[in-house]
Amino acid sequence: MIKEIEFPLPMGYCPKYVLDLDITPIIIEIYIHAGEDEKFKFPFEYCSDVTYGPNVKTLAVKLYSEGMMSNDRIVAFLNAVGNGELGRSYRSICHFCKKFSNQAQKRFAHMEEKLRN
């Protein structure tokens, strides 16, 4: 986007820049159709009615792991930047962080084993 201040003159211009963020919630509706046996087979990540995407989870875990915010403040922050569309809860944040911690501990144990060998 270009914004001009004053009237353009033949002698040129002096560029200045504005850096900003555009944070908008992304809501994707997914249709899962029944199979030939007329039964629905839901992939694991779509077992609940609402699934949170990797960007929301990553931001929550990052804020938590850096010790920057309490879980209550992370919930308030995510709800604010999502314009209230995300409907985050304290329990969800705890779940994201616990799942990440479990995955990280498995990887650390694997790395430790490789280093010992």
* Full pLDDT tens readout for the chain, 117 residues: 666 666 666 777 778 888 877 777 788 888 888 888 888 888 877 777 777 888 888 888 888 877 767 878 888 888 888 777 777 677 888 888 888 888 888 888 888 888 888
Which pLDDT value is given to residue 59?
A: 84
* Other Cβ atoms within 10 Å of 51 Cβ, number: 14
**Calpha distance 45→52 (Å, rounded):** 9
> What's the pLDDT at 3?
65
Cβ-Cβ contacts under 8 Å for 97 (sequence gap 6 or more): 60, 61, 64, 65, 71
- pLDDT score at 56: 83
Q: What is the pLDDT of residue 5?
A: 63
Q: Are the C-beta atoms of 2 and 8 separated by less than 8 Å?
A: no
Q: How many CB atoms lie within 10 A of CB 54?
A: 7
Given this model, what pLDDT does residue 100 score?
85
Q: Which residues pair with 12 in a beta bridge?
A: 9
pTM for this predicted structure: 0.55
Rounded CA separation 66/94 (Å): 15
Tokens of 43: 């992939």
Amino acid at 15: P
CB-based contacts of 88, cutoff 8 Å, min separation 6: 52, 56, 60, 74, 75, 78, 79, 82
